[in-house]
Amino acid sequence: MKTFDIVVVGGGGAGLYAAMEAMKTNPKLNIAVISKIYPNRSHTSAAQGGVNAALANTAKDDTVESHIFDTIKGSDYLADQDAAEVLCRDAPGIIRELENIGTPFSRLDDGTIAQRPFGGAAQPRCCYCADKTGHTILQSLYEQCLRKGVNFYNEFYILELSHDNGRLKGIIALDIKTGKIVPFNSRSVIFATGGYAKMYWNRSSNAAGCTGDGQAVAYRAGIPLKDMEFVQFHPTGLRKSGLLVTEGARGEGGYLFNKDGERFMSKYAPNKMELGPRDLVSRSIETEIREGRGYDSHAGKYVHLDLRHLGADLIKTRLPQIRELSMYFEGVDPIEEPIPIVPTAHYSMGGIDADNDGRTIMKGVYAAGECACISVHGANRLGGNSLLEILVFGKRAGHAAAMEAQENDPSPITESELQRQHKYIRGFHHHDKHERYGIIREELGKNLADNVGIFRTKALLETGYENVVELKKRFKKVRVFDTGDIYNTNLIQVLELQNMLDLSQTVAMGALLREESRGSHTREDFPVRDDENWHKHSMFEYCDDDICVSSKAVTMGKYELQERKY
């Protein structure tokens, strides 16, 4: 059995940056990247608008301190201030490294990297590659990993984090191509598997694969999750599909209108207007729709995002993908017509509890990117900070893992562990199982959208939690009707559903217990932020198929608690 120095689980921006940095730190290391799809198709490619860094190219007076404060304020003061400082101070160096490896950033007339305004930011500091920023960064990182000799195992699905009473042994994965159970012995494991917002199903901007696999596997292995109740709804998803319309569309000057022709953000964020923080803009749109000022159609209620005044040249050069998506999925050309939009489940602030270098409580196990909760986003993430997070903390986790990998001497993954996984998977084919994946999957998505959405109450959350518990019971009777081994997508979907059910239970429980409104978490029965009782992180541990909930203090710094106004 081969032992790797580092196994990175996930081939998106965080995983690839971690692998690249680890190889740069120690080129002699044997590093594997495990991905359930091909890395250059990871969800990082869906990040359109840009990545924040205080370069002061567009706004000459921008500073790192301003970026730090914007991030902490945007988080509704739940971000750990030391982590936010690391994020923002590392940002300019990250952008320069990406530039040096060939990322094709859009440019100003003087040749410097262009920066556009984004929501909740005091200055235009979002660096971008038209509206395909994540895609271009992903390709650049993948090229560098191939160049440096990283081993790629594509189309492998993680099943279990193998450990001996908390001592890491590696991971166990399913080879999707063959159906074989494969052990990956490793001195270190870095989780970089992305978010879990696809659990909201048809009202989500996430790709189908964003099912929280890394968080669920770590959770069941005894590693705590943090702040799972904070799920961000992006203000502008396409009405029919939920596909993302980048914040860059508003950063370039797009307007939001209701059916009365009113640019309604003047009521909610008179200073920032459409560039208020995402949680505020999403609530504002939802309020307009709930109070009857939205448009109505067979595809649902919505408001308009109007780009027409920007002109054809700007839309074609800076927002070409948005135009393409609008034409394909909504049948409107934003040069000629407004885009129908509605808030869409977009980002997971919660995840695997990790420190500023990605370390978890299990020695040798790290987490980075959206699957981690290093607490830079707190209760609400600012646009442009997600790509930055995966790059900064992917790099830091890769460096830490490379420096510490030789400290671990894992024992082999046993044959009995592989057989246990094989038996579990085969159990889904049993003839006495009758529940179907699609029915439970659709019910989970509808339950979360209806009961654990943008606006929350005790009654809704209790219903949402009870429904998840019932769906988990029904899941034990789910049958995989495809009995083949090769590319058994029915099996993968069922395994993903198990992960989403475990995580959705923590989301609903955390939202039910948190009796306040903060950032993306809005309780209509507790409309005020309660710093005395709830200025703390929620912690979730797996306890024999139940949840043990506790709390953790927020790390403060120079910025004192204050009301968040825009």
> Which residues participate in catalysis according to the annotation?
278
Residue by residue, DSSP assigns 94-157 as: HHHHHHHTT----B-TTSSBPEE--TT-SS--EE-STT-HHHHHHHHHHHHHHHHT-EEEESEE
In this structure, what are the phi and psi dihedrals at residue 233, rounded to the nearest 5 degrees?
-100, 125
CB 560 within 8 A of CB 543: no
Q: Structure tokens of 153?
A: 């195992």
Structure tokens at 542: 């797996």
Distances (CA, A) of 441 to 211, 386, 461, 495, 501: 11, 27, 19, 11, 9
Other CB atoms within 10 A of residue 516 CB? 19
Please state, in angstroms and rounded to a whole number, the distance separating the CA atoms of residues 427 and 213.
Answer: 20
Q: Whole-angstrom Cα distance, residue 215 to residue 195?
A: 8
Nearest to 176 by CA among 155, 197, 199, 205: 155
Look up residue 344 and give its two tokens: 């869409």
Q: Tally Cβ neighbours within 10 Å of residue 336.
A: 8
Distance CA 564, CA 566 (A): 7
Give the span between the Cα atoms of 363 and 350, in whole angstroms: 21
Cβ-contact 464, 448 below 8 angstroms: yes
> Could you tell me if residue 311 is left (phi over 0), alpha (psi between -120 and 50 degrees) or otherwise beta?
left
Cβ neighbour number for residue 420 with a 10 Å cutoff: 15
Instruction: Check: CB of residue 118 under 8 Å from CB of residue 236.
Output: no
Q: Which of 134, 183, 62 is nearest to 391 (CA)?
A: 134
- Tell me the two tokens of residue 272: 């920032």
DSSP states of 431-499 as a string? TT--B-HHHHHHHHHHHHHHHSSSEE-HHHHHHHHHHHHHHHHHHTTB------STT-HHHHHHHHHHH
Read off the amino acid at residue 64.
V
